Amino acid sequence: MDRKKKSISSADLSKLMRMWLLIIPIIVAIIGSATLTSMWLASRSDSSTTIHSRITDIDKDLLNNIGRDFRNTYLQFLRVKINPGSDPERVEQLDERLTELMFQEREIIQKYDPFYATERPSTMEILFEIIAEVPYPIVFTIAVVVGIFLFLITRYLALFIIMRRYTPSYVKEV
């Protein structure tokens, strides 16, 4: 199913190329940069930050201990799981301990946020936590790079589509 190329005047092709190779990619780049920046701003203003500021020192210490125990238990769990000669009962014990630690953390956080119900953080939650820690200049630099990248991709994609669909007719316009 090969389409025939449409023949258009050089002036029309110039207008078409200007629009599709400059204006549309700029709009896509701005939208991409704005989306990345807004995701970062949303992660910075997350309600979990305000919840953690209300937690008492005793509960913060408990959460830190639970986090430390969780990391140590998780490392043991990974070592046992990777080891081919490990005991399946030990893997199950470590998995139960991880679940128990998650429930302990959940109970503490639910005192301050009754809507907190996450058992294990999703990939998006982890991504937002990582993004929230990135400083302003780095995020804006990344947003500009993403914008430039989207601009170039859109520009070359538009150029490819234009060259496939149109061929200039070199008729002199009066």
Q: What is the mean pLDDT of each run of 10 residues along the chain (174 residues)?
A: 68 81 88 84 62 78 88 87 83 88 83 64 68 79 89 89 74 46
73-83 per-residue burial string, b: 16 or more CB within 10 A, e: under 16: beebbeebeee
Q: How far apart are CA 168 and CA 174, in angstroms?
A: 16
pLDDT tens profile 95-146:
889 888 888 888 887 787 766 655 566 666 667 667 777 787 888 888 888 8
Q: How far apart are CA 74 and CA 39, in angstroms?
A: 30
3-state secondary structure the chain: CCCCCEEEEHHHHHHHHHHHHHHHHHHHHHHHHHHHHHHHHHHHCCHHHHHHHHCCHHHHHHHHHHHHHHHHHHHHHHHHHHCCCCCHHHHHHHHHHHHHHHHHHHHHHHHHCCCCCCCCCCHHHHHHHHHHCCCHHHHHHHHHHHHHHHHHHHHHHHHHHHHHHEEEECCCCC
Check residue 174 and give its pLDDT. Answer: 41
Q: What's the confidence (pLDDT) of residue 153?
A: 92
How do the domains of the chain map onto residue ranges? 6-48+134-173, 51-114
The pLDDT value given to residue 2: 54
Q: For position 171, what pLDDT does the model report?
A: 47
* pLDDT (0 to 100) of residue 117: 57
pLDDT at position 118, please? 55
